[in-house]
Structures are given as structure tokens and as C-alpha cells.
A and B are shown apart, each in its own frame.
Chain A
Amino acid sequence: MKADTRRLVVHAPMIVLSLLAVFPVWWMVVTSLKPENEIFSTRLWPASPSLENYAYVLDAIPMIRILWNTFAMAAATALAQVLTGLCAAYALTRWRFRGSGIAQGLIALSWLVPFQLTMIPNYVLATKLGMLNTIAGLVIPNAAAAFAVLVLTNAMRSFPKDLIDAARMDGAGHLRVLCEVVVPNLRAPLASLGVLAFISAWNEYFWPLLLTRRIEDTVVQIGLQMFMTQEGNQWGAMMAAATLASLPILLLYLVLHRQIIDSFMRSGIR
């Protein structure tokens, strides 16, 4: 009995906090099921739930196409950031060259430059290269990230140098060392970085807003924004769209929940 009471005291706050965390998601789903004249009702379940808002969203904007664009853009961005970060980190930690410290310092400094500052020159260049309305145009300016380089440089610094030297003595080239020795041993930080980069790219708004001119070529954050206007927000439709937009991330979480929690623990919640 005493143990049960202690367990209850320990678990009760956690249960309350969990409910608090889950409530906004619950409210999003509930609101997505409400008709227009019930939107501001505070009932925990709609009086007459319907899928009208979902049908409206799918009719009003090409939601499936937008979700696919977003997935392709986020996956390609994450992959590119991991690859460029891996190569840069390997070069910075394994090769001694003049100015490596300065290079690393400059990469760290570039992390402090907001993307908005480089957005217009990037846009002008993307336009000249014919990359408007393309996934490549969305990905390339974000293909290298200082955060990725710094995270992987730190991870690689703690990697045993002897292993690499042994592989080199066995005649392995740098690419082989990287692929067959380093990568298999850095799976955890690579996965964490990939997950963070994917989520960050999934939430991207400003760059796609500038680069894409047609709704069919845009991403989900722009799609959600279409339900917010100066004449008021279409809450039901927006919550339905937000629910649909959450599903791929939820799926990703179900598959990779250990790595996601690990990545947040390592880097702090961003």
C-alpha cells in the first residue's frame, strides 16, 4: 500500500504533464472535426463530428502533392547536410592543413548569420540557374549546415585515431576509411543529426515562400498558411491540414523514436 502510494505520488505529476503535452494535439484533432459554427465551442468532443474539413482541405489545396514535396525536400536536405557535414568534419579532424582552425572558426561564425540575410542573393542566383519551383532549389542553399559540421567534428574528435591509422596502414583510402570505419561507428550522431535536419527542413517557411510560385510546387508550411488570411483564420481547415501534416512526422517518430529522443538530449531542444 505504501509502495502504491509512493508510486502514485511519483506518477501523478508525470501523468498530469503528459496530459498537458497531449492536449494541444487532441484539441487540433477535435477542432479539425468541428463544423464552422462549432469552432469556438469548448466541448471536448464535437456535437456533430464530421470529416468536412478534411474534404475541404484536400479540395482547396493539393495537400498530398504538397506533403510529398515537403517529404522529398526535407529528406534530401537532411541527407545533404549529413553528407556535407561528414566530409567537412573528416577533413577538419583528420587532415592537418594551414588555416584549418580559421576554416572551422568561419564555419562556426556562419551559424550566426540568419538565413534571411542571404535569402535574396540566393534567390537571385536560383532564378538565374532556373531553379524556381524546384525541389533542388529548395535543397541546395541548405545542403551544408554549420550545425552539422560542428556536431560531427565533435563526434569525430572523440573517435579513436588508432582505428583510422590502422585502416590507412592496411592501404585503405580516405573514402574507404570514411565509409567503412568512421560511418559505422558514428551511426548514433549521424542518425540524430539526420532527424534534427529533417524536422528543421520540414518546418521551413521563408525560403519556400520566396522560391515557389505555384501551390503545386510548394511545401506544407505554405499550405497551412493558406488557411490564415487577413479576413480571419479558417481554424477547422487549418487544424485538418495540420493533422495531415503531422502524420509523416508522427510516422517518423514511431520508427525512429529512440534516435529522436537521443538527438534532443544531445543537442537541446531546438
Chain B
Amino acid sequence: MFRRQFMTTALAATMLTAPAAMAEMAAKITEPVTITFYSYNLASAGLGKDTTEGLIADFMAENPMVKVEAVAAPSNEILSRVQADIVAGQQPDVAQLVFRDLIYAAKDLGAQPLEDLAGDELKAHSEGMVPNGLALGRVDDKTYGLAYTFSTPVMFINADLFRAAGLDPDQPPRTWAEVKAAGIAIHEATGKHGFFPGAFGPIDGTFVYQSLVMSNGGQVREGNKLTYADPAAAEAVTMLRDLRDSGAYADIDVAAHMDTFASGDLAMFLFTSAIQSRMVKAADGNFELRVVAMPSFGDKPTAPTNSGSALFVLSQDPVKQRAAWELTKFLTSKHAYTQITSKIGYLPLRLDIVDDPKYLKDWVEANPMIRPNLEQLTRLTPNVAFPGPNYRQVESMMKDAAAEAVLGTGDPVEVLKAAQERGQALMPADG
């Protein structure tokens, strides 16, 4: 972790500030052009890689003048790779970056604002996208990233453990109070673990934490002011601490939450739907898997936040910008989302393909577990990235503080306040 942060900081310091948008994007491609596409899906063996390679091949078949050179890097290393290549003069053209890097990509990495780059083409392309779809990649009223592979938190349920505890899995918990009651009952009756949110630990779960905070009406920051210790945000963390103190919260290694659920030892697991296909395989013959929407704070509607990544156009050359924009459009088209949803398990940014027999209708009917997540898309709330050169450290301090507040022994509000004060010193001072 230290090495990764060190590399990112060192590279950020090495890089020049972002150049402004260069010449206008070419209207069309008249000569062969090669562009690079940096993707973390290509760095994992299996469906993510195969699907992405298939989409690139489809794009090149449709656009014979464009050759896409794919560059693979793991999700936690891809920003360093992009930075290193910019420093080395190997300008990336399209990059798949996680949402935490959004502001950095917009302000320091040279990502092109799509309104300036594509104008009316962006408006036409965004038709049919979920409400808030473009907002996911927006900074200061401009869209820098087009949401690509993303999901929202859903609750995976081990129905067998519910039955073993005398609970009805057809009536899953819908509020945090019900999660607490079910978690205690399951732990006491079976000796297995009740509930765990994939919010903390080395596997990125900031979107789960932010979903909880925003579902209770809180915010992690407002402008350049950190607010994650403010009452509504802190209350969400205090609720988790209460779950832990009551015994409803699983006492497990935070790095092993997915494996604990897959092994059948955890009854309720709040995490991204992107792991659904893995859980289906793990549950096969071992336990009955179900998926429900994330629980709410009483009657308050939930505010599911997006995990995953967006596509950023980094090209500076007008012809390459055109090719990069065409690739970006293709990768967020109805065809691409049909592939991405049905093969990898992410959500479609376009809800109009869900009931379309040409696209996802048959698949959704055969895989009803995606329904709770699709329903949550109507309340999709953009993940909040942090500004300034210390954004990763600020986010990391917030995550560590939230984890300590839930899993530690100190007063949770005081823990959050102390971290917020330290983190504020790392935030940009101006506007």
C-alpha cells in the first residue's frame, strides 16, 4: 500500500499540469490510426478479459481504420501505469479508471471534457442512459468520465442460514434494524456469522461506505470541506458499530469477507453485484443464494452509490481523439452493455435494453437476481471523489477512520472527528 501510494505521489509530482484541450476533434477518420486503451478488466483472467477483448475486436471490425492497442494493468495499479506512460511520452488515448480518480483525471491527468470534445454527439449518445448516468463522471458541470463498468451495493443472502435460524428468507431484512435482529438470531442459532458490509479492508469498498452515509442523508464532503464526521454521516457509522457490539456483525478478517460468504459461513453480505457470478458458482450445491436491495435507515430511501470505473479520453491529437471518442461510445453502447452485463455482471448504464429482446431481456429473465440492483439504479447517487493532490490519502484516512470507528473500541464519533480534522489539512484550501 505504501509503495503504491508512494508511486502515485511520485508520479503526480513528476507530471506536468494537465494541458488544456488541444485542437478540435477530427470530424471523421480518413486514414488508419492506432490508439491505446488502458483497461483493468484485461488484467484479470476470465470473463472480464474475454468480454473486453471481444468488444475491442467488435469495435475494430466496425471501424477498420482504427487499431486499438490494449494495455492491461490491475485496477489498483492502472493510474500509476497511465501516469508513467504520460511521463514517458507514451500518451494514452482511452483509460478505464476508477471513480476515486475522477477529479484527478479531470484536473491533472488531461482527461478531455466530453461536452467540449463531442458537443451534441454526447447529448445524442447519452439518450437512454439511466438518470444520473452522466453525473457519475462529472466534475464542475463537465463530463470527464463516461460510466463504464459499474455497480451498486446489494445484499447477498444465504437463505439456508436464515432457515436454520428459524427466519423466513422470503422476508429478508429491509431496514438496518431488521438486519440487526436477523444477524443476532442467525449468530445465536447457528454459530455462523450474521452480517458484514464490504466497506472496509484492502478490497476497495468505499462505495459501500458512501452508500451507507448518503442513505442516512449524510455526505463525506461538501466542496472542499470534509463532512464525514457530521451527525448524519457519523450516525451511519455508529449504526454499524452498534451492529458489531450486538453480535450481528461478523467478527472476521476484513480481507476475507467474500471468501467467508462464499464458504457459506456468512448470512448477509453487502457488496457489489459484480461478484454475483462468482457467488453463484460458490453456492452451487452448498447453499441457496439470494440477492436483495441494500437495507435502509427506517423509511428513508436508500442512496446506492456506484462502484467501478469510467472511461476517460486522454488523447491530445485530433484524429486520435475522434478514434478514442468512437471507442468510448462503442464501449458504452447497447451492444457493449449487453455483453458487459450478461458476461461480467456489471450493471447496464442503459435501462432501455433491459426489456428489449434484442439485448438483455432473455438474460434478465434467466437471471432475476439482477432485478434488485436494476431497481436501485433509479436512485443511483454519484460516488464522491476527493479533490487535490492528496486525494488518495484523504480517502484512505476516511476509510481507515470509519473502519476504526466500527471495529475499534474508541468512541466512533470522536474517531471520525479526529480523522476529519487531520484529513482537512490535506484538502485544497480554495473554493
Give A contacts to B, CB under 8 Å: 36-37, 39-40, 57, 60-61, 116, 119-120, 123-124, 127-128, 206, 209-210, 213-215, 225-235, 237
Q: Check if B262 sits within 8 Å of A40, measured CB to CB.
A: yes
Q: Smallest CB-CB separation from A124: which chain B residue?
A: B88
Q: Check if B11 sits within 8 Å of A225, measured CB to CB.
A: no
Residue of A37, A119, A206, A209 touching B282 (CB-CB under 8 A):
A37
Query: Could you say which residues of chain B place their CB within 8 Å of the CB of A226?
Result: 43-45, 49
> Smallest Cβ distance from B12 to chain A, in angstroms?
11
Chain B 278-304 interface residues, beta-carbon cutoff 8 Å to A: 278, 281-286
Query: Could you say which residues of chain B place their CB within 8 Å of the CB of A232?
Result: 258-259, 262, 275, 278
> Smallest Cβ distance from B252 to chain A, in angstroms?
13
Q: Check if A120 sits within 8 Å of B84, measured CB to CB.
A: yes
Query: Could you say which residues of chain B place their CB within 8 Å of the CB of A39?
Result: 262, 282
- Known contacts: A36-B282, A120-B10, A120-B84. The answer to whether A61 contacts B262 by CB under 8 A is no
Q: Smallest CB-CB separation from B263: which chain A residue?
A: A40
Q: Is the interface of A mostly helix, strand, loop or mixed?
A: helix
Q: Does B373 sit within 8 A of A, measured CB to CB?
A: no
- Known contacts: A36-B281, A37-B286, A116-B7. The answer to whether A127 contacts B81 by CB under 8 A is no
How far is A74 from B214 in the complex, measured between Cα atoms in Å? Answer: 50
Chain B 5-34 interface residues, beta-carbon cutoff 8 Å to A: 6-7, 10-11, 14
Residue among B44, B264, B286 with the highest chain A CB neighbour number at 10 A: B44
How far is A200 from B286 in the complex, measured between Cα atoms in Å? Answer: 41
Query: Could you say which residues of chain A place their CB within 8 Å of the CB of B80?
Result: 210
How far is A145 from B80 in the complex, measured between Cα atoms in Å? Answer: 26
Q: Check if A123 sits within 8 Å of B88, measured CB to CB.
A: yes
Residue among B6, B48, B84, B283 with the highest chain A CB neighbour number at 10 A: B84
Q: Check if A40 sits within 8 Å of B282, measured CB to CB.
A: yes
Q: Check if B89 sits within 8 Å of A213, measured CB to CB.
A: no
Q: Check if B281 sits within 8 Å of A227, measured CB to CB.
A: no
Among the 9-residue stretches B70-78, B128-136, B420-428, the one with 4 or more Cβ atoms under 8 Å from chain A is B70-78
Q: Check if B45 sits within 8 Å of A127, measured CB to CB.
A: no
Other A-B pairs, 7, CB within 8 Å; known A37-B282, A231-B44: A36-B281, A36-B284, A39-B262, A60-B46, A123-B84, A231-B48, A232-B259
Q: Check if A116 sits within 8 Å of B6, measured CB to CB.
A: yes
Question: 12 A–B contact pairs at CB < 8 A?
Answer: A36-B284, A37-B281, A120-B7, A123-B88, A206-B3, A210-B80, A213-B72, A214-B72, A225-B43, A227-B45, A229-B48, A230-B274
Q: Smallest CB-CB separation from A235: which chain B residue?
A: B259
How far is A81 from B76 in the complex, measured between Cα atoms in Å? Answer: 31
Q: Check if A120 sits within 8 Å of B14, measured CB to CB.
A: yes
How far is A225 from B43 in the complex, measured between Cα atoms in Å? Answer: 8
Query: Could you say which residues of chain B place their CB within 8 Å of the CB of A116?
Result: 3, 6-7
How far is A225 from B69 in the complex, measured between Cα atoms in Å? Answer: 21
How far is A235 from B7 in the complex, measured between Cα atoms in Å? Answer: 28
Q: Does B204 sit within 8 A of A, measured CB to CB?
A: yes
Q: Does B189 sit within 8 A of A, measured CB to CB?
A: no
> Smallest Cβ distance from B369 to chain A, in angstroms?
15
How far is A124 from B15 in the complex, measured between Cα atoms in Å? Answer: 12
Q: Does B418 sit within 8 A of A, measured CB to CB?
A: no
Q: Check if B77 sits within 8 Å of A209, measured CB to CB.
A: yes
How far is A231 from B46 in the complex, measured between Cα atoms in Å? Answer: 12
